[in-house]
Chain A
Amino acid sequence: MLEIKNLQVKLEEEEKQILKGVDLTVEAGKVHAIMGPNGSGKSTLSYVLSGKDGYEVTGGSATLDGEDLLDLEPEERAAAGMFLAFQYPVEIPGVGNMTFLRTAVNAQRKARGEEELSAADFLKEVRAKAKTLKIDAEMLKRPVNVGFSGGEKKRNEILQMAMLEPKMCILDETDSGLDVDAMKLVAEGVNALRDEGRGFLVITHYQRLLDHIKPDVVHIMANGRIVKTGGPELALEVENNGYADILAEVA
């Protein structure tokens, strides 16, 4: 599904290489996790894949079901099935959450040549999905993420994911700023979306999220590269011993 080959990325504004050749393949139906110390390039990878400005790809490729992602505008990537759950969801005063969701859903449908969802169908769907994430009508009415708690923001990300039904979901430190209960709720939302046709890439610092969203494959990223790949046990090793041992081992 998602195929990243030797991806090299530098900052646009300065001569700083962040990704130094990332190789990664996420198959449909699988959950991959990326762990790694601060500054290893995890968030950069998620931004580059979703098309944020400020980065320059200096080599390599990234494709989604064979389609070159790096050539597409962010909205085209979204329509192609890419979704990034932000580490810091953006607050947008003046745009109602519901309006935002409907605009996004219909824009993607339009881009794919599908018919727009009727207001009634949309409402029905959003209410049902919001309910499982414990998002009440009040939160749907409020401006996007404005005045939301950390947990509410992350639940709102998962709601967007549920409404947009992407093929490939990247979760960038979705556990940051969440207490145990909020994390469980978010993880349940993600697990409900696990599907044979859908791939996940979960970026996290901590094993505890992976207790709730069980990964098939765990990668360790350091200094702009994937340095080690293994099963769920690799995450436990990090939890117990930190990164030092692994980094020493691959150095």
Chain B
Amino acid sequence: MALPEVKQTATDARLAALSLPTGGCLEGARRAALSRVQTLGLPGRRDEYWKYTQPDTLTQVEAPKAAVFDTDEAPMFDDFDRLKVVFVDGVFSPEESDDLSLDGVSIERIADICDKDIHWAKDLYGVLEARGQSPVARPLAALNTAFAQDGLAIHVTGTPSKPINMIYRHSDEGSDAILHHVIRVDSGAEATILENGPAASRFNKCMEIDIADTGKLHLVRAQGRDHERRAATHLFARLGSESEFKSFTLTVNGVLTRNEAVIELTGDDAVAHIAGACAGDGDFHHDDTVFVTHDAVNCESRQVFKKVLRNGATGVFQGKILVKEGAQKTDGYQISQSLLLDDDSQFLAKPELEIYADDVACSHGSTSGAIDEDALFYLRSRGVPAAEATDLLTLAFLAEAVDEIEDEEIASAIVTRLEGWLARRR
């Protein structure tokens, strides 16, 4: 079927400005992804899943300029024992990165997948993204698979002694970065991946994660404070039996962020927790679009998303739990809540449940609210000044999402960031 003219024109213009990396064993996957983009067309304002978020600046040819943000705050996770992998404007920087060798994991650049004949990565690149195009199209992810400039292939074979920290640095105010990571967690293996930093003026990132039976992966990312950056990220995860995937995302500032997560529970007794906390002030638009598919027995999924919005900031949540026929004993939970600190801010939520099995427990809830006046008065009556009391209640509101982080040290680093964000706005 032909695309609507507006969409066709926009898609053609964007594709004409990009060049497909050729040669090597990923070329087939890239070409297939390109044809997906051509068939689907890039997102437009009239698409059902882009009703609340304007995709224009994510799809236009040139990345809108974003000033490089200057801060005296130490970068996140700086005091952690971790393996540093640095990308500057979306390009791997060996000088700034640590030596990539670490017991229990092998880390390569996607550019080296073919030369080094890394089978699992060849077999994963673009595969989960392609699966994730149905029933909801995600053309920006297909665009990513086709044109990604860089990225990592991370193979977790054991239990690395420290987290792998991808650090994204922004240095050019017109940078347009496309990164694609593929991650494979072997049976019985377990790792933590940290991501932080603003990456580029415009950032398109895709992560495909394949977790074998009994494997575990923890992902914690902090999308930085740069006010003008734009980002569209996709997370595709496939979980085997008794495996576990826990992801948490902190977003502060940024003019536009769209984080999509597409999770597929394909083995029995698997667990997936997807959580996010965001704090936005003024020109801030944050969109969490999540799709969890239960396709096995006795799996658990949780979606916990909390947003604090002020001065006209906008939050969006589109979350779905799909329970396929036969996925009995599914335990699905979804909560999305916003704390609106004034009348100008807004939260748009579309929770969805689609269930084809009869022995499941699924619950969902979505709320928008202001600071609880009774709680505020209670705190003030004990001597806590109004501004401090409001911050305390705001952090309390975000706590349910932050609590999804298992590692206490990481959770406390996240809370410190949120406290800083609130304190700067007193």
Q: Taking beta carbons and an 8 Å cutoff, which residues of A are in contact with B? A: 50-53, 73-75, 77-79, 83-84, 86, 89-95, 99-100, 103-105, 107-108, 111, 143, 160, 164
Contacts and interface: CB of A to CB of B under 8 A. Distances in A.
A107 B395 contact: no
B24 to A, nearest CB: 50
Contacts of B120: none
B396 A94 contact: yes
A104 B382 contact: yes
A95 B380 contact: no
Given A52-B377, A53-B373, A93 B396 contact: yes
Contacts, number: 83
Nearest to B382: A104
A100 B381 CA distance: 12
Interface of B: 372-375, 377-386, 388-389, 392-393, 395-400
Contacts of A111: 383, 385
Contacts of A74: 377, 380-381
Contact of A50 (B373, B374, B381, B388): B381
A75 B386 contact: yes
A104 B379 contact: yes
A94 B380 contact: no
B396 A79 contact: no
A28 B220 CA distance: 56
A51 B389 CA distance: 15
B383 A90 contact: no
Contacts of B377: 51-53, 74, 90
Contacts of A93: 396, 399
Given A74-B380, A74-B381, A160-B382, A95 B393 contact: yes
A51 B384 CA distance: 13
Contacts of B400: 94
Contacts of B383: 75, 78-79, 104-105, 107-108, 111, 164
B213 to A, nearest CB: 36
Contacts of A51: 377, 380-381
5 contacts: A74-B377, A92-B375, A94-B399, A104-B382, A107-B384
Contact of A90 (B374, B388, B392, B399): B374
